Amino acid sequence: MTVKRLSILLSALLFAGEATAQDVLPLEGLVISETDPERTLISKPNWLRGLHVIGSDLPEQQRPQIEAVIPEEWLGTTICARITTIVGNYTALVEFNVPEEVNTRRARLNFISRYEDIISEVSPDNSGITLEKGRCIGDTSKTDRQYLANFWNEGAETLGAEDQDIELMLNMNIARADELLAEAELIEAGSTRIRLEPACARIDSPDALAYNFRCSFTIPAEYMPTHADATLRFGYKRLYRGRVSAPRSAVIFLGVAP
């Protein structure tokens, strides 16, 4: 069976200058809020602060840039982008309306920022973006929320090999935790669910104010799903002073080529 790669590897085409306007769906965002970078905001709600496919740095002239593949069931809906730096000196909420009919679901999410010089310099190591289905309002503590993996100021190294593993990184804001007990399960219609092993650790840095834990895991190429709207369920429990918390989870769309 031929393994399909993540369509978000589109960035490699952009490096080569081969992509045309028809290859990418441009989405223009409405900035709901954007903080003053002179302030530091701590302990804001929302445990997931970044959900990223790890690639290589984009050229400076192409930043800032968010890329993802829109799931079919998200067409005609609104996406909320929540952005923060790890130190909390920049946060933003941006809404994107997705058309019901599109020629491609490979999307580049653009918005006009007052602080473009700041977000042009960031990466998944020192900042995070989550793309969530729905408007930027409502309860941010509910479980089974739907998220979309994305590239943030990064892109794929190559589109040449079909045996490429995919690495995902989750930046997380977890209060009162000595350790995270995390699990991930790859789900594809009509096939066996595949358990993955996330590696989670506290970020040992005094700058870790907006988020303080990071989980990462690899999806081996041989396990990559082969339908366009494949999902992955990620869940965790907090271990604090010998006590285990109630579980929390999220559904993650990976973005596989239709």
**Which pLDDT does position 41 carry in this prediction?**
62
Q: Is residue 149 part of a domain?
A: yes
Beta pairing partners, 23: none
Closest CA to 217 of 53, 58, 64: 53
pLDDT < 50 positions in the chain? 1-22, 157-161, 258
* Residue 161 maps to a domain: yes
Radius of gyration, alpha carbons of the chain: 17
- Quick one: pLDDT at residue 82? 95
Pair of tokens at residue 170: 């989750």
2 domain-assigned: no
Question: Is residue 1 one of the residues assigned to a domain?
Answer: no
Assigned domain for 190 exists: yes
Neighbours of 145 (CB within 10 A): 21
pTM equals: 0.85
Q: Are strands 213-219 and 199-202 parallel, antiparallel or unpaired?
A: antiparallel
CA angle (184 as vertex; 181, 189 as ends), nearest 5 = 155
Amino acid symbol at 67: E
- Confirm whether 150 is domain-assigned: yes
Specify if 243 maps to a domain.
yes
Closest listed residue to residue 169, CA positions, set 133, 120, 219: 219
Range of the domain at 51: 7-253
pLDDT of residue 154: 87
The number of domains in the chain is: 1
Query: What pLDDT score does 213 carry?
Result: 96
